[in-house]
Amino acid sequence: MTKKNDALAELIAALKTLPSVGVKSAQRMAYHLLQHDREGAGRIVTTLQNALKQIIHCRLCNTLCEHEICHLCSDEKRDHSRLMIVHMPSDVISMESANCHDGLYFVLMGYIDPTQNRDIHSTGLEKLLDRIETGEITEIIIATNFTAEGNATAHILYEALKNYPCKISRLSQGMPLGSELEYIDSGTLAQAVYERKCLKN
Protein backbone atom coordinates (compact mmCIF):
# COMPACT_ATOMS: atom_id res chain seq x y z
CA MET A 1 0.00 0.00 0.00
CA THR A 2 1.39 3.42 -0.96
CA LYS A 3 1.67 6.41 1.37
CA LYS A 4 -1.29 8.04 -0.44
CA ASN A 5 -3.58 5.12 0.26
CA ASP A 6 -2.65 5.25 3.92
CA ALA A 7 -3.85 8.87 4.00
CA LEU A 8 -7.13 7.80 2.36
CA ALA A 9 -7.60 4.91 4.77
CA GLU A 10 -6.93 7.22 7.70
CA LEU A 11 -9.45 9.77 6.38
CA ILE A 12 -12.08 7.03 5.99
CA ALA A 13 -11.37 5.76 9.49
CA ALA A 14 -11.69 9.33 10.84
CA LEU A 15 -14.99 9.94 9.01
CA LYS A 16 -16.29 6.62 10.28
CA THR A 17 -16.19 8.01 13.85
CA LEU A 18 -19.04 10.43 12.97
CA PRO A 19 -22.38 9.31 14.43
CA SER A 20 -24.45 7.05 12.13
CA VAL A 21 -21.62 6.78 9.60
CA GLY A 22 -20.49 3.27 8.70
CA VAL A 23 -17.52 2.24 6.58
CA LYS A 24 -19.49 2.45 3.30
CA SER A 25 -20.75 5.98 4.00
CA ALA A 26 -17.30 7.04 5.16
CA GLN A 27 -15.81 5.78 1.88
CA ARG A 28 -18.46 7.62 -0.17
CA MET A 29 -17.82 10.83 1.80
CA ALA A 30 -14.05 10.56 1.34
CA TYR A 31 -14.30 9.87 -2.43
CA HIS A 32 -16.81 12.71 -2.84
CA LEU A 33 -14.68 15.26 -1.00
CA LEU A 34 -11.44 14.28 -2.74
CA GLN A 35 -12.85 13.81 -6.23
CA HIS A 36 -15.66 16.37 -6.54
CA ASP A 37 -15.50 18.89 -3.74
CA ARG A 38 -12.00 19.78 -2.63
CA GLU A 39 -13.27 23.28 -1.84
CA GLY A 40 -15.92 21.82 0.50
CA ALA A 41 -13.24 19.67 2.10
CA GLY A 42 -11.17 22.79 2.70
CA ARG A 43 -14.21 24.49 4.29
CA ILE A 44 -14.68 21.54 6.62
CA VAL A 45 -11.02 21.79 7.67
CA THR A 46 -11.24 25.53 8.37
CA THR A 47 -14.61 25.53 10.16
CA LEU A 48 -13.64 22.53 12.27
CA GLN A 49 -10.31 24.14 13.21
CA ASN A 50 -12.09 27.37 14.17
CA ALA A 51 -14.76 25.54 16.13
CA LEU A 52 -12.17 23.51 18.01
CA LYS A 53 -10.36 26.71 18.88
CA GLN A 54 -13.34 28.92 19.74
CA ILE A 55 -16.12 26.74 21.09
CA ILE A 56 -15.98 26.05 24.79
CA HIS A 57 -18.49 25.07 27.48
CA CYS A 58 -20.47 27.86 29.17
CA ARG A 59 -19.06 28.25 32.67
CA LEU A 60 -22.59 28.34 34.11
CA CYS A 61 -24.81 26.04 32.05
CA ASN A 62 -22.24 23.77 30.38
CA THR A 63 -23.68 24.24 26.87
CA LEU A 64 -21.40 24.76 23.86
CA CYS A 65 -20.74 28.44 23.16
CA GLU A 66 -18.04 30.89 22.08
CA HIS A 67 -17.91 32.91 25.27
CA GLU A 68 -17.21 32.13 28.88
CA ILE A 69 -20.91 32.69 29.63
CA CYS A 70 -23.50 31.82 26.94
CA HIS A 71 -26.09 34.34 25.69
CA LEU A 72 -28.94 32.70 27.65
CA CYS A 73 -27.08 32.66 30.99
CA SER A 74 -26.06 36.28 30.52
CA ASP A 75 -29.58 37.44 29.60
CA GLU A 76 -30.78 39.50 32.55
CA LYS A 77 -34.40 39.40 31.31
CA ARG A 78 -34.70 35.67 31.88
CA ASP A 79 -35.99 34.22 35.14
CA HIS A 80 -32.79 33.25 36.99
CA SER A 81 -34.71 31.35 39.67
CA ARG A 82 -35.88 28.50 37.41
CA LEU A 83 -33.34 26.03 36.08
CA MET A 84 -34.23 23.43 33.46
CA ILE A 85 -31.87 20.47 33.17
CA VAL A 86 -31.62 19.03 29.65
CA HIS A 87 -29.56 16.40 27.90
CA MET A 88 -28.00 18.24 24.93
CA PRO A 89 -27.75 21.74 23.39
CA SER A 90 -30.30 20.60 20.74
CA ASP A 91 -32.86 20.27 23.57
CA VAL A 92 -32.27 23.91 24.49
CA ILE A 93 -33.05 24.83 20.87
CA SER A 94 -36.28 22.74 20.90
CA MET A 95 -37.36 24.25 24.21
CA GLU A 96 -36.59 27.80 23.07
CA SER A 97 -38.64 27.32 19.91
CA ALA A 98 -41.55 26.00 22.02
CA ASN A 99 -41.29 29.34 23.84
CA CYS A 100 -42.50 27.97 27.14
CA HIS A 101 -39.56 28.39 29.50
CA ASP A 102 -38.03 31.76 30.30
CA GLY A 103 -35.69 30.47 32.99
CA LEU A 104 -32.16 29.17 32.58
CA TYR A 105 -30.80 25.79 31.48
CA PHE A 106 -28.20 23.32 32.54
CA VAL A 107 -26.95 21.06 29.75
CA LEU A 108 -25.73 17.63 30.87
CA MET A 109 -23.98 16.95 27.52
CA GLY A 110 -25.01 13.29 27.71
CA TYR A 111 -26.80 10.95 30.08
CA ILE A 112 -25.74 10.38 33.64
CA ASP A 113 -24.69 6.75 33.96
CA PRO A 114 -22.63 5.73 36.99
CA THR A 115 -21.92 2.35 35.37
CA GLN A 116 -20.05 4.30 32.66
CA ASN A 117 -18.27 6.43 35.29
CA ARG A 118 -20.44 9.42 34.48
CA ASP A 119 -22.13 10.64 37.64
CA ILE A 120 -23.22 13.98 39.08
CA HIS A 121 -19.62 14.80 40.05
CA SER A 122 -18.10 14.13 36.59
CA THR A 123 -16.30 16.79 34.55
CA GLY A 124 -18.69 19.65 33.80
CA LEU A 125 -21.52 18.39 35.98
CA GLU A 126 -19.96 19.77 39.18
CA LYS A 127 -21.11 23.18 37.80
CA LEU A 128 -24.71 22.08 38.36
CA LEU A 129 -24.29 21.68 42.12
CA ASP A 130 -22.22 24.91 42.23
CA ARG A 131 -25.09 26.72 40.57
CA ILE A 132 -27.76 25.31 42.88
CA GLU A 133 -25.63 26.08 45.92
CA THR A 134 -25.71 29.80 45.08
CA GLY A 135 -29.28 29.68 46.47
CA GLU A 136 -30.63 31.65 43.52
CA ILE A 137 -32.58 28.68 42.11
CA THR A 138 -36.09 28.08 43.52
CA GLU A 139 -37.30 25.48 41.00
CA ILE A 140 -35.41 22.78 39.11
CA ILE A 141 -37.26 21.34 36.10
CA ILE A 142 -35.85 17.96 35.08
CA ALA A 143 -36.37 17.82 31.31
CA THR A 144 -34.48 14.71 30.29
CA ASN A 145 -35.92 12.47 27.56
CA PHE A 146 -38.61 9.90 28.30
CA THR A 147 -36.36 7.05 27.18
CA ALA A 148 -34.82 4.45 29.52
CA GLU A 149 -31.55 6.45 29.78
CA GLY A 150 -33.45 9.73 30.21
CA ASN A 151 -35.62 8.26 32.97
CA ALA A 152 -32.57 6.83 34.77
CA THR A 153 -30.82 10.21 34.50
CA ALA A 154 -33.93 11.94 35.90
CA HIS A 155 -33.98 9.53 38.83
CA ILE A 156 -30.29 10.06 39.63
CA LEU A 157 -30.71 13.83 39.38
CA TYR A 158 -33.72 13.75 41.69
CA GLU A 159 -31.86 11.71 44.29
CA ALA A 160 -28.84 14.03 44.11
CA LEU A 161 -30.88 17.24 44.31
CA LYS A 162 -33.82 16.40 46.57
CA ASN A 163 -32.19 17.77 49.71
CA TYR A 164 -31.63 21.27 48.31
CA PRO A 165 -34.29 23.78 49.38
CA CYS A 166 -35.92 24.12 45.96
CA LYS A 167 -38.97 22.75 44.21
CA ILE A 168 -38.23 19.94 41.76
CA SER A 169 -40.52 19.07 38.85
CA ARG A 170 -40.39 16.98 35.71
CA LEU A 171 -42.05 17.46 32.32
CA SER A 172 -45.50 15.90 32.30
CA GLN A 173 -46.07 12.61 30.57
CA GLY A 174 -49.25 11.99 28.64
CA MET A 175 -51.04 12.46 25.37
CA PRO A 176 -49.26 14.63 22.80
CA LEU A 177 -51.12 17.59 21.30
CA GLY A 178 -53.61 16.62 18.60
CA SER A 179 -53.47 12.93 19.51
CA GLU A 180 -56.36 10.47 19.31
CA LEU A 181 -56.75 7.60 21.78
CA GLU A 182 -57.18 5.09 18.98
CA TYR A 183 -53.71 5.73 17.54
CA ILE A 184 -51.64 6.19 20.68
CA ASP A 185 -49.41 3.48 22.16
CA SER A 186 -50.64 1.59 25.23
CA GLY A 187 -47.78 2.79 27.44
CA THR A 188 -48.56 6.45 26.85
CA LEU A 189 -52.28 5.80 27.27
CA ALA A 190 -51.67 4.10 30.62
CA GLN A 191 -49.42 6.96 31.72
CA ALA A 192 -52.10 9.50 30.73
CA VAL A 193 -54.62 7.66 32.91
CA TYR A 194 -52.28 7.26 35.90
CA GLU A 195 -51.20 10.90 35.76
CA ARG A 196 -54.65 12.19 34.88
CA LYS A 197 -55.15 15.84 35.67
CA CYS A 198 -57.71 16.63 38.32
CA LEU A 199 -60.20 19.21 37.05
CA LYS A 200 -62.37 19.16 40.16
CA ASN A 201 -62.14 17.34 43.46
With b for 16 or more beta-carbon neighbours within 10 A and e for fewer, the 74-101 pattern comes to: eeeeeeeebbbbbbbbebbeebeeeeeb
Minimum Å gap between C-beta 118 and its own copies is 19
Q: How far apart are CA 56 and CA 139, in angstroms?
A: 27
For 64, counting Cβ atoms within 10 Å of its Cβ (0-12 exposed, 13-18 middle, 19+ buried), the class is middle
Residue 144: left (phi > 0), alpha (psi -120 to 50), or beta?
A: beta
Minimum Å gap between C-beta 123 and its own copies is 23
* Binding of residue 20 to its own copies (CB under 8 A): no
* Binding of residue 198 to its own copies (CB under 8 A): yes
**Cβ closer to its own copies: 27 or 145?**
145
**Cβ closer to its own copies: 1 or 198?**
198
* Near its own copies in 68-107, by CB under 8 A: 86-88, 90-91, 94-95, 97-101
Stretch binding its own copies (CB under 8 A), from 16-24, 111-119, 129-137, 172-180: 172-180
Minimum Å gap between C-beta 75 and its own copies is 18
* Near its own copies in 130-149, by CB under 8 A: 141-143, 145-147
* Binding of residue 162 to its own copies (CB under 8 A): yes
- 56-57 and 64-65: which strand pairing? antiparallel
**Cβ closer to its own copies: 5 or 176?**
176
- Amino acid identity of residue 143, one-letter, is A
The answer to whether the CB of 169 falls within 8 A of the CB of 139 is: yes
Question: Residue count at the site for its own copies (CB under 8 A)?
Answer: 55
Q: Provide the 3-class DSSP secondary structure of residue 170.
A: strand
- Name the site residues for its own copies (rule: CB under 8 A): 86-88, 90-91, 94-95, 97-101, 141-143, 145-147, 150, 158, 162, 167-182, 184-201
